[in-house]
Amino acid sequence: MSFKSIVRELKEMKDGIGSISRRGEVEGRHWRNRSRTHIAPDVVPFDPNQQGQWANIPPELLLDIVRRVEESETSFPARTAVVFCASVCKSWREVTKEIVKTPEECGRLTFPISLKQPGPRESPIHCFIKRDRANSVYRLYFGLTPSEDESDKLLLAAKRIRRATSTDFVISLVSDDFSRASSTYVGKLRSNFLGTKFTIYDNQLPSDAAIQHHGRLRRRFSTKQVSPTVSACNYSIATVSYELNVLRTRGPRRMHCAMHSIPFSSIQAGGSAPTPTSFPQYFDEKSSPALVSKAKEPSVNSSSTVSVPSREPLVLKNKAPRWHEQLQCWCLNFKGRVTVASVKNFQLVAAVDPSHNIPAAVQETTILQFGKIGKDIFTMDYCYPLSAFQAFAICLSSFDTKPACE
């Protein structure tokens, strides 16, 4: 069998079950539908994790197949073949997870967890955001610009919910389900009353954080209200602050982002940023006794929060633009990725103290840039140490009304 035919067979599979497995399932249903007076055949119960025509393939051949698929399909929609490999059965899934690298290592987005992992160090990942004004929905897509056939790969979606004293942007993996009790919920962004300070909440605990009792954790649901495999907690991982424009002077917004979940050492030589490997499944008594002890209450506002071990967080600031005399406006070099002037446009770099001895090239590296290219269309390019989720949440803060900052 040729390599192309193997990939074609993988694409035809649904939920990791091949045609032979489907026939076995039909036969099993036939026996179950017969009268109970008949004796059932002595067969092994159907297990989707082990059954299938590719389950018993030799490990060496399996490794070669998955590696060739991963190397040949580098971008969506063709890269979905890599996801199909991981959905065949348990053995294929383990091999695929071993071969597929993180975005920091390979510069590619493959699985949903890639959206929570840091971007590449060398070159940014290019995305764009579409704003749906009628429904207050913001969709993040993978790619340089929107395609004509609208077949772009959706990465994340957010819905703006206005409240009396704040505004929430609920972030989900899909664009039609923004329930915080859903398994597609990944986090949210919340503003203060003036729209000058935003807090980014993640639905999973940072890998090196600890729960202590001198902060705030927001829990919206009890464990009886939510599926036991879904986390309904929000952990504060970053804050985005906009400076007040008291004198009402003309100029771009000034913003600072304190990334509490990312240490400053991540941009130093040999440093690394937290890299989650899976989405949260559940909270058990051993991992989070403080949360389980409150489970019986219908609605809890616990006094616990994420407390990162004593270290300096990474702080980002917007790159200062220059005044263009001929155009009579503030300008930044977006390298062709931004074409429309807007107060929302910005570039973020690391805020570095001279005592840190960080190379000038690292200080000038644009970690996140966001800008307008058309009506309700914006580009978003991010790189290490930010993840797609963190970058998207920061960009969402730019959409909220800020009368005190302009």
pLDDT single digits (tens) 300-321:
343 344 444 557 999 999 998 8
* 50 vs 286, residue with greater confidence: 50
What does the pLDDT look like over 217-240, one tens digit per residue? 444 444 444 444 444 588 999 999
Residue 372 has pLDDT above 80, yes or no: yes
| pLDDT beyond 50 at 380 | yes
Exposure string (b/e) for 137-155, b if CB count within 10 Å is 16 or more? Answer: bbbbbbbeeeeeeeebbeb
* Interaxial angle between packed helices 59-72 and 90-99, expressed in degrees from 0 to 180 and rounded to the nearest 10: 50
Report the pLDDT averaged over residues 387-405.
Answer: 85
Give the pLDDT band of residue 124 (cuts 50, 70, 90): very high
Q: Which has more confidence, 10 or 305?
A: 10
**Could you tell me the CA-to-CA distances from 330 to 97, 322, 323, 342 in Å, in that order?**
46, 5, 5, 10
Instruction: For residue range 146-156, list pLDDT tens digits in order.
Output: 988 888 999 99
**Rounded CA separation 194/258 (Å):** 19
pLDDT, the chain, mean: 78
Does 202 score more than 90 pLDDT? yes
Q: How many CB atoms lie within 10 A of CB 125?
A: 23
The C-alpha atoms of residue 254 and residue 195 are separated, in whole angstroms, by 13
Q: What is the pLDDT of residues 316-340, one digit of tens each?
A: 999 988 887 787 777 888 989 999 9
Please report, as a single letter, which amino acid is at residue 77: P
User: 43 falls in which pLDDT band (50, 70, 90)?
Assistant: very low
pLDDT given for residue 302 in this prediction: 39
Main-chain phi, psi angles of 333, to 5 degrees? -90, 100
DSSP state of 45: P
DSSP 152: P
- Alpha-carbon distance of 316 to 334, in angstroms, equals 17
What tokens appear for 325 in the block? 């005399």
At 181-196, the pLDDT tens digits run 899 999 999 999 888 9
- pLDDT score for 78: 80
